Structure 1
Amino acid sequence: MLPADLPDLPIRAVLDDVTAALDEHGTAVLVAPPGTGKTTVMPLALAGTVVVAEPRRLAARAAATRMAALLGEPVGRTVGYAVRGDRKLSRDTRIEVVTTGLLVRRLQRDPSLERVGTVVLDEIHERHLDADLLLTLLLDARAGLRPDLRLLATSATVATDRVAALLGDGTPVITAHVRTHPVTITYTPPARGERAEQRVARTVRTALSEQDGDVLVFLPGAGEINRVTGLLSGVHTVPLHGRLPAAKQDAALTQGTARRVVLATAVAESSLTVPGVRAVVDSGLARVPRMDHRRGLAGLVTTRVSMSVAEQRTGRAGREAPGRVYRCWAEHEHATLPAQPEPEIRTADLTRLALELACWGTPDGSALDWWDPPPAGALAAGRAVLTALGALDATGAVTDRGRRIADVGLHPRLARALLDGAEAVGATAAAEVVALLDDETLATGTSVEDTLRRLRRDGDRRWAREVRRLAALVPAGPHRTPDPALVVALAHPERLARRRAPGSPVYLMAGGTAAELDGATDAEWLAIASADRQPGRTQGKIRLAARADQALAERAAPALLSEADEIAWAGGDVVARHVRRLGAIVLRDKPLPDPDPARVRDALVDGLRAEGLDLLRWTESATRLRQRLALLHRALGDPWPSVTDDALLTAAPVWLGPELATARRRADLAKVDTHGALRRLLPWPAAGRLDELAPDRIQVPSGARVRIDYGADDPVLPVKLQETFGWLDTPAVADGRVPVLLHLLSPAGRPVAITRDLSTFWREGYRQVRAELRGRYPKHPWPEDPATATPTARTNRPR
């Protein structure tokens, strides 16, 4: 039902190919760069009922509006849309444009999608989490319930092999070629000390002076858009991002009479057409979801764009005429950009995905076909959160409460806060907080309470509309004094936080992460709505929080409360106390007068492992015994034990057992008889040969018994040279397997030779030693033939 006056767009050349491919195979991939008409013309050419899934609400509304305009109809007749909080549909609607998340929810309720003939997965290359999940669930539904359901995946990039393979063997890949105008690329690296927004503003002014037409600027988020707007005084700026009211979004997508600078987020990369653009200023930055599972912090982080995204942004300058793109980075840095954007499924919080999988009946998702499977660790973390919320049972199956949470259509944490918060403070009060938590761009500071007062005072329409929508989803509940902190804590109980010290800006969260609050506050407790951690920082930064107290914390997070005797090594000694905790936060503690000896022993062992064996007092005899045992273990192996630090720490309960049984604190470790304790490691009956295998002393030819030094890798015997005359065989230990290294000393006790081969030394080395020392020590014997001379420790007798 294409209109007769359809614009001459490149997609027209492949419409028949796409429809034929769908008729023959039921699946197809359409590769079409921005500007070809794939989003707004292709669905009109498809027969039957068509659902177009868009990754963003703004793109869904814009696509439906454009298709309806092509038909000369109002939105909601033949072409309609449905996004969260807004829908325009009628009985006559044949083409419905929806967000991917909404279609996932519809698919959960109606897995067969009985009235739908074709699903178009638009901009699938963007790899949004909901889009990846939707593709997986549609493939499963098509394999089981709806083999006749036609699937068309569209992409602005050519990396489509994997998608075609997922859709099935033989899935055709059809390409529409766009007629683009030449684009000149200019790199504008930052000046010294220049912030990103300053660099973008400077580049925008350059673009305005060098190029005609409107300027489209890509920035990572609404905050940067606001700051760049402030730097461009005297310039007609128009914001464009997904959180704007519909009227302002429509204004940005409509060309006016005055020259404009459109400041946009990633929404303008591929799904939307911004008319009149001749120049693009690319900040080179994007905002993407990241989950720090170790610290329990999820949020958005600013990263460099990929090469493919940079190319898509560049193409926006050549849609209607020759243009220019200004890239706000150095030219040599471009080659270091990643080729493709990182799929959200690899980096994002997967709690919501885990709930959808449980609702689908495949909690671990292992039986499904994925573009990229969800990481096992992140998925397990999401299931753990859902179990704590009561959304999953012990087997991982979804509960009735879980289905209620899923039906709300928010992140499960926010849905839980809305449902339970409505019961506690009333539907409207809970909805006010949840609407704010779901759109943190509404906050102008770190205080939840201040932001809510401003939103009520200013009558923010977008927020108020979402509050009404959310409140209608839950029972009215009681009419009590609103407590924003309670609702925040219901969403994020692990982010309940207590000040670490009076006057400190640092708070310890119940989850164990420390976070700092900008600005002064006297609040001892906070319910933190948003916090993140910048790379390289050890603690997080609090972005949004509400004042709380201990009573509220205990009420909101009873599952985190615990009370127990804690005996552990902390701060360099054993600490034994009875503690009441809220997660990692100590609420109350008192010393234990008579701690469990077994647990004290374990704590002491932990202390040794943490701080090392130097906590013990190592006497000379203990050190020598350890050295002798080390030699025998190296030379003979079993049954002689290893006595390395790691081995002794592992075996500490064995060889230090009796001492640890009576020790209570660090000071007691310094009193341990380490020599006696080490003897417990001696292997019997082999231990009876210890002095034979690793003797403490060796008798030398002079008759003296000289102590062996076992401190080095090889045993060393330091002995005066004159005492070894006549000694032809080098001594050895460990059943003769390890020769002793002889350090032959001068009469003054200084080394003059080192050898393991006395016979060779007497023949080859002694002559030089004799020549050097006989004049220096004339009273000592220096025979010409030391091999047959009499050994002695004395000087020559005077004549």
Structure 2
Amino acid sequence: MAVRLPPNLPDLPVRAVLDDLAAALDGHGTAVLVAPPGTGKTTIVPLALPGRVVVAEPRRLAARAAATRMAALLGEPVGRTVGYAVRGDRKTSKDTRVEVVTTGLLVRRLQHDPSLPGVDTVLLDEIHERHLDADLLLTLLLDARAGLRPDLRLLATSATVATDRVAALLEAPVVEAHVRTYPVTVTYHPPARGERLERHVARVVHTALSASDGDVLVFLPGAGEIARVAPLVEGAEVVPLHGRLSAGRQDAALTPGDRRRVVLATAVAESSLTVPGVRAVVDSGLARVPRMDHRRGLSGLVTTRVSASVAQQRAGRAGREAPGWVYRCWPEHEHATLPAQPEPEIRTADLTRLALELACWGTPDGTALDWWDAPPQGPLAAGRAVLTALGALDASGAVTERGRRIAGVGLHPRLARALLDGAEAVGATAAAEVVALLDDDTLATSTSVEDTLRRLRDDGSPRWHREVRRLTALVAGRPRGTPDPALVVALAYPERLARRRSPGSPVYLMAGGTAAELSEGGEWLAVASADRQPGRAQGKIRLAARADQSLAERAAPALLSEADEIAWLDGDVVARHVRRLGAIVLRERPLRDPDPARVREALVAGLRAVGLGLLNWTEAATRLRQRLALLHRVLGEPWPDVSDEALLAGIEGWLSPALAKARRRADLARVNVHNALSLLLPWPAAARLDELAPDRLEVPTGARIRVDYGADDPVLAVKLQETFGWTETPTIADGRVPVLLHLLSPAGHPVAVTADLNTFWREAYHQVRAELRGRYPKHPWPQDPLTATPTARTNRRR
């Protein structure tokens, strides 16, 4: 293909490799372009490619900005040669040759027609950012190219050199463009003890303003932090930059100003956009990424540390146009602990939407497709389970007609379901208002859905109003009564219906089993947004609507159940007939005659939960367990393992028969544990128990003294005078284990500990004799203990 650039384009570094790129695409149909931000890969390359080009960007802001920049280079308005399409906003015409779209939108087009008619080249921009939609788009394009469109050219661009895997997937050569960068000075500015993020960043920004020139680009994790830092910065024009701003305000941040500026940006400014005039970068070191807590059913954005590669990209923004400065808001020694690359979203995010896209593609499990990183099967199966409950998939996992309609809405399947079913229940507009809020819950200024909607209707963001109009046009429905936002929320998240645990408590129990806090609310809530901070036992409700039990039962009939429950609960056996909404108990009554077998199962569950300490371990039971433990340790099979773990694992075999009459926790203390434990004795080997691990041992006086098996070694505590003439140390377990003798004074205090009597008599006895004969003159202390008569008595009086 011949490279034909329009005239008067800037001489950016990527122009030097355009011929190599053309040769790669001609020879392979695929290529990977590695070029740092600012080299022109997003704006020059699409204009140089022949035919119709679709550029896929990971963010709406980046898509609009790229189209605007390319149109400006051509001296045209957006929508002529270069246009864009994002959700809810499109500027194209019959003359459009280069169209910039979001990755999610291009996935929808592929689903509609995998052949992408009329498209010659797809450029996947910023592939290194590893967004979920971008990974899915790459996989689907590879599949389409392998079947319907072998002539479709694919070009992936990346700002980092970690491209081996994607190059292998595309079977593509890698073309690298180099850019001249200026040196940057990196310094580290850790926060003071207890200093809040916003004040810390503002303090470092003032340092950057005083120590450098030019504009300052500040990286913060989200729009909330940007709003809180902005009023703390003085001495420059403060300009926010994030994806939720209006188009005009986004354009203003990407245009040089008349005054020195401090641009407060999220991750959108890492690589997708070029912010002109920057000489200094202040990096908070944080980013907001999607995470799914599968165990608690909570998904959302969490704040994490950035990777080393992201920190390097952010730093590179300072050295584009001149020598620059980078101020990192963390200790220098922590930099080496950063992960090398960002975690791909496909490993951590909610995969419900991905599961629906795969089902629509005809490959529900995705195993037949080529992936950069394959989706984890557990989270993917969880996503399919949600879709089945929504009616989007049938029992075989195939997409239903309802599923295709849900996919066509272009939202998360939960929100699409809430829109479709909510429109029939409360009307299209009312449902669309709630769904537009749920899709962008950062619009909320309180925890109340109702209060937020009232404010949005009066003076809400144009973007929300535009989205409401778009969603309303997708569905039809007339209100059947008073519009109720809680019903729409509950249709999206039925498992987040929540009931206060007790009157006055701030803790709510969700139908899905997760506990979460809200300081003010009614008895019932439909929770729109909740999260849980690491280390906290329960979540925090961020946005919710007031509900009631009637609404909850109407919105989530699939979660309703009624059954007899016999279980270990709150430290005891509970037997009751219960009506539930998921984990929430709606009504209960005690069972008068519960099934004994199920009661035993509950008691066993309690023992496994709490431990064997619930049983009454008498001295006899404890000694039997200790003797068996020694024989298992020394002789092994057939002598049983009687550790806590082994006893709990096999509890049905030895303890269940003894639980026949037990009904509650208190009954466990009356179980005869010794008899139960005896069931573990191996036959016929059990006949040798007293021989191998005797309860008592005979000493030279003829007395039989109990052996202590409580320590690692068996112990026999015996008065020293009773062992006169005893030369062989006693052993047990077929002679394999010597008994540890605790030799006692006449008062019963240990005077020596030995497992070798011969050595004691020879080397230690005479010292013991010298120390004790004066203290106990009435007791025998012979010169030769080996020939003396053993005794437990004193000397006869003369």
TM-score, normalising length: structure 2: 0.95
Equivalent residue, structure 1, for 2:153: 150
1:29 and 1:717, CA in 2 relative to 1: closer, same or farther beyond 3 A? same
Distance 1:724 1:256 in 2: 101
1:363 and 1:701, CA in 2 relative to 1: closer, same or farther beyond 3 A? same
The DSSP-based 3-state class of the residue aligned with 2:541 is strand
The DSSP-based 3-state class of the residue aligned with 1:785 is coil
| Cα deviation, residue 210, structure 1 | 4.6
Alignment of 1:192-341 (within 5 A): 192-232=193-233, 235-341=236-342
Output the amino acid matched with 2:719. Answer: K
**C-alpha contact (below 8 Å) 2:131/2:345 kept by paired residues:** yes
1:95-133 deviation line (CA, Å, top 9, x unaligned): 111111111111112122232111101111111111111
Output the amino acid matched with 1:217. Answer: V
Tell me if 1:95 matches 2:98.
yes
Alignment of 1:468-507 (within 5 A): 468-507=469-508
Deviates more, 1:95-104 or 1:343-352: 343-352
Distance 2:415 2:61 in 1: 22
1:328-372 deviation line (CA, Å, top 9, x unaligned): 334444333333222212221111112112222222222222222
1:25 and 1:745, CA in 2 relative to 1: closer, same or farther beyond 3 A? same
Tell me if 1:776 matches 2:775.
yes
The DSSP-based 3-state class of the residue aligned with 1:120 is strand
1:358 and 1:728, CA in 2 relative to 1: closer, same or farther beyond 3 A? same
| Cα deviation, residue 258, structure 1 | 4.0
1:219-249 deviation line (CA, Å, top 9, x unaligned): 2221122222222467533322211222222
Output the amino acid matched with 1:51. Answer: V
Alignment of 1:124-143 (within 5 A): 124-143=127-146
| Cα deviation, residue 212, structure 1 | 4.3
| Cα deviation, residue 459, structure 1 | 5.2
**C-alpha contact (below 8 Å) 2:425/2:477 kept by paired residues:** no
Distance 1:205 1:689 in 2: 84
1:763 and 1:483, CA in 2 relative to 1: closer, same or farther beyond 3 A? same
1:118 and 1:695, CA in 2 relative to 1: closer, same or farther beyond 3 A? same
Equivalent residue, structure 1, for 2:68: 65
Equivalent residue, structure 2, for 1:693: 692
Distance 1:665 1:281 in 2: 63
1:20 and 1:630, CA in 2 relative to 1: closer, same or farther beyond 3 A? closer
**C-alpha contact (below 8 Å) 2:291/2:300 kept by paired residues:** yes
Alignment of 1:378-389 (within 5 A): 378-389=379-390
Distance 1:791 1:187 in 2: 80
2:124 to 105, 121, 126: 121
| Cα deviation, residue 742, structure 1 | 2.8
**C-alpha contact (below 8 Å) 1:653/1:660 kept by paired residues:** no
Equivalent residue, structure 1, for 2:392: 391
1:18 and 1:606, CA in 2 relative to 1: closer, same or farther beyond 3 A? same
| Cα deviation, residue 760, structure 1 | 4.0
Distance 2:512 2:197 in 1: 33
Equivalent residue, structure 2, for 1:46: 49
Output the amino acid matched with 2:528. Answer: A
TM-score, normalising length: structure 1: 0.95
Output the amino acid matched with 1:534. Answer: Q
**C-alpha contact (below 8 Å) 1:526/1:546 kept by paired residues:** yes
Equivalent residue, structure 1, for 2:85: 82
Equivalent residue, structure 1, for 2:708: 709
Deviates more, 1:366-375 or 1:425-434: 366-375
Output the amino acid matched with 1:17. Answer: D
| Cα deviation, residue 206, structure 1 | 4.1
Equivalent residue, structure 1, for 2:576: 577
1:533-559 deviation line (CA, Å, top 9, x unaligned): 122222111111111111111111111
Unaligned runs of at least 5 residues, structure 1: none
Output the amino acid matched with 1:423. Answer: E
1:182 and 1:720, CA in 2 relative to 1: closer, same or farther beyond 3 A? closer
Tell me if 1:450 matches 2:451.
yes
Distance 2:575 2:752 in 1: 57
Distance 1:330 1:626 in 2: 55
Distance 1:748 1:309 in 2: 75
Equivalent residue, structure 2, for 1:27: 30
Cα RMSD (Å): 2.3
1:408 and 1:649, CA in 2 relative to 1: closer, same or farther beyond 3 A? same
**C-alpha contact (below 8 Å) 1:426/1:480 kept by paired residues:** no
**C-alpha contact (below 8 Å) 1:578/1:592 kept by paired residues:** yes
| Cα deviation, residue 36, structure 1 | 1.4
1:327 and 1:647, CA in 2 relative to 1: closer, same or farther beyond 3 A? closer
1:681-737 deviation line (CA, Å, top 9, x unaligned): 333333333333333333333222322223333332222333333333333333433
Distance 2:334 2:757 in 1: 67
Distance 1:696 1:212 in 2: 88
Unaligned runs of at least 5 residues, structure 2: none
Distance 1:764 1:240 in 2: 86
Distance 2:188 2:711 in 1: 62
Alignment of 1:391-540 (within 5 A): 391-458=392-459, 460-518=461-519, 520-521=520-521, 523-540=522-539
Distance 1:333 1:703 in 2: 72
Alignment of 1:583-622 (within 5 A): 583-622=582-621
Deviates more, 1:80-89 or 1:428-437: 80-89
Distance 1:128 1:221 in 2: 17
The DSSP-based 3-state class of the residue aligned with 2:336 is helix
The DSSP-based 3-state class of the residue aligned with 2:628 is helix
Distance 1:752 1:329 in 2: 62
Alignment of 1:4-19 (within 5 A): 4-19=7-22
Equivalent residue, structure 2, for 1:677: 676
Deviates more, 1:81-90 or 1:280-289: 280-289
Output the amino acid matched with 1:273. Answer: T
The DSSP-based 3-state class of the residue aligned with 1:421 is helix
Equivalent residue, structure 1, for 2:348: 347
Equivalent residue, structure 2, for 1:639: 638
Equivalent residue, structure 2, for 1:747: 746
Output the amino acid matched with 2:512. Answer: G
Distance 1:206 1:794 in 2: 90
Output the amino acid matched with 1:633. Answer: H
Distance 2:211 2:749 in 1: 84
1:781 and 1:363, CA in 2 relative to 1: closer, same or farther beyond 3 A? same
Equivalent residue, structure 1, for 2:627: 628
Distance 1:630 1:187 in 2: 58
1:791 and 1:496, CA in 2 relative to 1: closer, same or farther beyond 3 A? same
| Cα deviation, residue 260, structure 1 | 3.4
Output the amino acid matched with 2:65. Answer: A
1:236 and 1:796, CA in 2 relative to 1: closer, same or farther beyond 3 A? closer
1:298 and 1:775, CA in 2 relative to 1: closer, same or farther beyond 3 A? same
1:177 and 1:758, CA in 2 relative to 1: closer, same or farther beyond 3 A? closer
| Cα deviation, residue 507, structure 1 | 1.3
Output the amino acid matched with 2:95. Answer: D
Deviates more, 1:757-766 or 1:700-709: 757-766
Distance 1:241 1:437 in 2: 19
1:674 and 1:318, CA in 2 relative to 1: closer, same or farther beyond 3 A? closer
Deviates more, 1:549-558 or 1:775-784: 775-784
Equivalent residue, structure 1, for 2:656: 657
Deviates more, 1:781-790 or 1:371-380: 781-790
Distance 1:59 1:223 in 2: 20
Tell me if 1:796 matches 2:772.
no
Output the amino acid matched with 1:529. Answer: A
Tell me if 1:166 matches 2:165.
no
Identity %: 84
